[in-house]
Structure 1
Amino acid sequence: MGVAGWPEVFRGSEAVAAGLVAEGALRGRRFVRIFPDVYAVAGEEAPTLALRSRAAALLVAGRGVVSGYSAAELLGASCAPFGAPAEVTLLHGRRRGHPGLLVHRDQVAEGELWQVGEVRLTSPLRTAYDLARRLDLVEAVVAVDRLANVHRFAPDLLLNFAVHYPRARGNTRIAQVLAHANPYSGSPMESRLRLLLVRAGLPRPQVQWVVQDPQARTAMWLDLAYPDALIAIEYEGEEHTSRDGVLRDIVRYTRLVARGWRIFRYTKYEIRHEPDRIIADITRALG
């Protein structure tokens, strides 16, 4: 449920017909119109992709399903860039586009559909297939990595869709995406960091490489590694900035350094804005 007993998203016409709200009130500050006749209770922040995706599901109910980045979001495999539109796939009928909504028309078999709460959406595998053939290489790999990691499937299974839908647009991209995909990648930014190195011509690093510490009887997982060169490459997300995260990293990196590892740590800002410096760092280290 949403705020004060209201559903998270609702049809404005139904709420007015039920006497829950006056039509004029829907245009006030208390509610936000997401799509035609689909509203939510206004919050302090702009509607999230998850909320907009549930609103899109209500908009196309009975005629279409949530898909693409929206499906990934509701499947717990968030990988969309900031500001991505909600996405739906129409199974029949027509629906014109709206600001903030991307509409696809495609074939989707019944076995390729899931239900999450009240939302009907494409399955993890079908969602990965759709994103793999629609996005540029890097973001396609990011999406496939995330969905495969969260839902524990082998990316090569996407080839089955290309066989089943031989005329589908974008099928020719699938093989290239699968050549770079890795279901062990721990996060979208980690996948982007890996692709940054590989596309620059550097050797493909190991993903989630395990370093044993017999004395402490523990194991340490490295985001990316060149084991022969004892080079560790870590993506530092927000969880590393908490007090516990900082203290845990101090112990972890001290043990790695004691075992001869060189550690390169990068944030999302460097990956987005200083890719050349990252490539230069690792090139020098490997040289």
Structure 2
Amino acid sequence: MRPPPLEWQVFRGSAAVAAGLLSAHQLRGRGWIRLRHDVYADSRLPVDHALLCRATLARLPPDSVVLAGPSAAVAHGVVSAALASDPVHLIVRSRVGRQTGTQLHRVPVSPDDLCLVSLAGGSSVVPATTPARTAWDAAVWLPLADAVALTDGLLFHRLVTVAALRSVTSRLADRPGGRRAGHTLGLADGRAASRAESLLRVRLYLAGLPLGVARPPIFAVAPCLAWPEFRVAFFRTASPSAAASASGGAVTVDDGWLVVRLAPQSAFSEVVRHLRAALAGRGWRNARKQDVVESALSSTMR
């Protein structure tokens, strides 16, 4: 039997033992899971990034840190922004030593960039950066594709607006990483319905293709990506159709759109090859300089 005060909770083991709720031996039982040094949880709770955020905060003094970047995105509801295996990102507000499983950031943060949010599975609120600041920090700290996917998620769930992203980009433009953040946030598209779609869109862009539009309402079933300027659309299909195979992955539909259909298991190089051919057939020419693409990948872009 689990003591009622500890059911579905994250707690300090030493505090539970001192309060007489559990013995040190009982803490090692199957009813509990150890998450951090001296931090335990009801074993029925799903071990996800939100739970690891709760465990990390339980070890630190109140108001000493703020959830930020991908961890803040998870707190706001974009659960795909970080896995349980990913470090918990924190902005440090007072003296804090190194913590296992965390990434500490000692950067300035304005009160206007802070808020309180309820982490999934908990009853208390925790400090986190606002969705707009969360996106900006992610754009500075994370690889380009991951940062865009995170921002797409915030936009898709209507946690942030394009106007708010432009505002934070302008306000923090002179900070280290400001130029990189502005470029990254400018690639976001809130119509992307999943992290996988976001990553594919950015990977295609980095492969030299023009930036696609996520799920435009051009057909009864929206394609995952399209290039309206060239009237090219891309669908993931359950299996390669005979028509797609016969035409190299592309068919023309009645209203003049060139539709590329490929199976989800298609290699990325195959996707690039088919889309490059379809776009080139519609008049696209790759005029982007390679250094622009490489700068998007640079973690030191300023």
- What's the TM-score bracket when you normalise by the shorter of the two chains? 0.7 to 0.9
Counterpart check, 1:148 vs 2:155:
yes
Q: Normalising by the residue count of structure 2, what TM-score does the alignment of the two structures yield? A: 0.73
Alignment of 1:1-287 (within 5 A): 6-43=7-44, 47-60=47-60, 61-80=62-81, 82=83, 83-98=85-100, 100-117=101-118, 118=124, 119-155=126-162, 157-161=164-168, 164-165=171-172, 168-211=175-218, 219-227=220-228, 230-234=231-235, 262-267=259-264, 270=266, 274-286=267-279, 287=281
Tell me by how many angstroms 1:106 deviates.
Answer: 2.4
Tell me by how many angstroms 1:125 deviates.
Answer: 0.9
Structure 1 counterpart of 2:78, one-letter code: A
Structure 1 counterpart of 2:56, one-letter code: A
Tell me by how many angstroms 1:32 deviates.
Answer: 2.0
1:187 & 1:3 partners in 2: Cα distance?
39
CA deviation string 1:135-161 (max 9, x = no partner) = 122212112222122235344634544
Aligned CA distance change for structure 1 residues 266 and 14 (closer, same or farther; 3 Å):
farther
Tell me by how many angstroms 1:208 deviates.
Answer: 2.1
CA deviation string 1:122-177 (max 9, x = no partner) = 11111111101111222121122221222353446345445545664322311221
How many residues are matched?
A: 257
Structure 2 counterpart of 1:278, one-letter code: V
Aligned CA distance change for structure 1 residues 95 and 193 (closer, same or farther; 3 Å):
same
Please say if residues 140 and 178 of structure 2, whose CA atoms lie closer than 8 Å, have aligned partners that are also in contact. Answer: yes
1:64 & 1:184 partners in 2: Cα distance?
32
1:76 & 1:153 partners in 2: Cα distance?
12
Task: Tell which deviates more after alignment, 178-187 or 164-173.
Answer: 164-173
Structure 1 counterpart of 2:295: none
Higher helix share: 1
Task: Tell which deviates more after alignment, 148-157 or 88-97.
Answer: 148-157
Please say if residues 73 and 79 of structure 2, whose CA atoms lie closer than 8 Å, have aligned partners that are also in contact. Answer: yes
Unaligned runs of 5+ in 1: 213-218, 242-255
Q: Normalising by the residue count of structure 1, what TM-score does the alignment of the two structures yield? A: 0.76
Greater than 4 Å deviation, 4+ residue runs: 2-5, 162-167, 256-261
Structure 2 counterpart of 1:80, one-letter code: A
2:99 & 2:159 partners in 1: Cα distance?
34
Task: Tell which deviates more after alignment, 65-74 or 144-153.
Answer: 144-153
The higher relative CO (CA closer than 8 Å, separation ≥ 6) is in: 2
Residue identity (%): 31
Tell me by how many angstroms 1:113 deviates.
Answer: 2.0
Please say if residues 152 and 183 of structure 1, whose CA atoms lie closer than 8 Å, have aligned partners that are also in contact. Answer: no
